[in-house]
């Protein structure tokens, strides 16, 4: 029977002021294969192998089932193989990776019946917000929004945007991280984030390191989540000292990502120390 394979990148979202809006694909990937079968079965190796569901409850299977149904396919189930490098629950878009992968597998098995834009729309339907999904589907730096329907566009970057992620050993659920946020925010904080989000985009599009560095600050989510990431201040300071333009929570955290406007991310690692409870790696 036909076997299809897709590869989907980890993503970082928010990038400081772009809450639920900015997304960036990283050079860290999960690989998935699927073969039509009589019932759902999921094999998992790598990250999450001990905890993720191996039946129809798995996110990849759920998304694939939705995609097959929306594509009008007669395929009812599949045997899925997942080779995971993206750790779950760390703010690297693992749920978006799984959802996008399932939809892409369905698209591949139906000869492109969905198409990339419909994969994006269905993924947002499942995920609930567009930031990680947009970057996973379209790659690069993306902006996602909703004008009655989910939208996303890629941002043209002037040069290289290298990243280094400092991954916490413990997990932080997105639900828990969202519960920490207030239901309202001061107008001054909203205005602060609007200005700084503009600086991030201007810095990335122009290749201006000073603009990017000035923009990577937030008042809408990071201050409220800092209690769950006690090393945030010192890891952020270490990344800045290592040569990053700035460092921010990756999505809901607790992973922290440093950003460098450079083709070569090695300069961002030259002075980086490794905290005991974290692991770090460059992700272009």
- pLDDT over threshold 80, residue 183: yes
Once rounded to an integer, what is the mean pLDDT over residues 247-268?
Answer: 78
Say if 4-154 and 162-283 have the same CATH topology.
no
- Return the closest-CA partner of residue 198 out of 210, 209, 212: 212
The set of residues, in sequence order, having a beta carbon less than 8 Å from that of 121 and lying 6+ positions away, is 149, 150
- For residues 86 and 92, is the Cβ–Cβ distance under 8 A? yes
Q: Is the pLDDT of residue 13 over 90?
A: yes
Strands 22-36, 41-46: pairing is: unpaired
CATH number 3.30.70.890 given to 162-283 = yes
Considering only 51-60, 88-97, 252-261, which range has the smallest mean pLDDT? 252-261
**Closest by Cα among 18, 27, 22 to 164:** 27
Residue pLDDT, tens place only, 197-235: 999 999 999 999 999 999 999 999 999 988 888 888 888
Please report the pLDDT score of residue 277 as a whole number. 43
What does pTM read for this prediction? 0.90
CATH code that applies to domain 4-154:
3.30.230.10
Neighbour count for residue 191 (Cβ, 10 Å): 11
Residue 276 banded pLDDT, cuts 50, 70, 90: very low
Helices and strands (H, E) in the chain, number of each type? 9, 10
Tens of pLDDT along 148-167?
899 999 998 887 788 888 88
Beta partners for 30? 8
Q: Is the pLDDT of residue 278 over 60?
A: no
For the chain, which residues make up each domain, given as ranges? Answer: 4-154, 162-283
């Amino acid at each position: 029977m036909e076997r299809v394979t897709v590869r989907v990148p980890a993503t970082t979202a928010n990038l400081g002021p772009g809450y639920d809006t900015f997304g960036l694909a990283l050079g860290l990937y999960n690989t998935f294969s699927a073969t039509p079968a009589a019932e759902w079965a999921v094999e998992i190796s790598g990250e999450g192998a001990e905890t993720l569901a191996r039946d129809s409850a798995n996110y990849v299977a759920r998304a694939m089932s939705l995609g097959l149904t929306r594509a009008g396919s007669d395929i009812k189930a599949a045997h899925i193989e997942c080779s995971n490098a993206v750790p779950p629950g760390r703010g690297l878009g693992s749920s978006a990776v799984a959802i996008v992968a399932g939809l892409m597998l369905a698209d591949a098995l139906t000869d492109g019946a969905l198409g990339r834009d419909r994969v994006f729309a269905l993924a947002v339907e499942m995920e609930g917000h567009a930031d990680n999904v947009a970057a996973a589907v379209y790659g690069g730096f993306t902006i996602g929004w909703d004008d009655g329907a989910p939208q996303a566009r890629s941002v043209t970057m002037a040069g290289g945007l290298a990243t280094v992620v400092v991954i916490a050993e413990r997990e932080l659920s997105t639900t828990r991280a969202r519960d920490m946020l207030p239901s309202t925010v001061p107008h001054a904080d909203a205005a602060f984030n609007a200005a700084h989000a503009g600086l991030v985009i201007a810095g990335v599009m122009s290749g201006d390191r000073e603009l990017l560095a000035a923009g990577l600050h937030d008042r809408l989510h990071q201050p409220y989540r800092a209690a769950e990431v006690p090393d945030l201040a010192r890891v952020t300071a270490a990344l800045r000292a290592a040569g990053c333009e700035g460092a921010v929570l990756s999505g809901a955290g607790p992973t922290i990502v440093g950003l460098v406007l450079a083709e070569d991310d090695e300069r961002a690692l030259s002075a980086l120390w490794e905290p005991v409870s974290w692991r770090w790696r460059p992700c272009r």
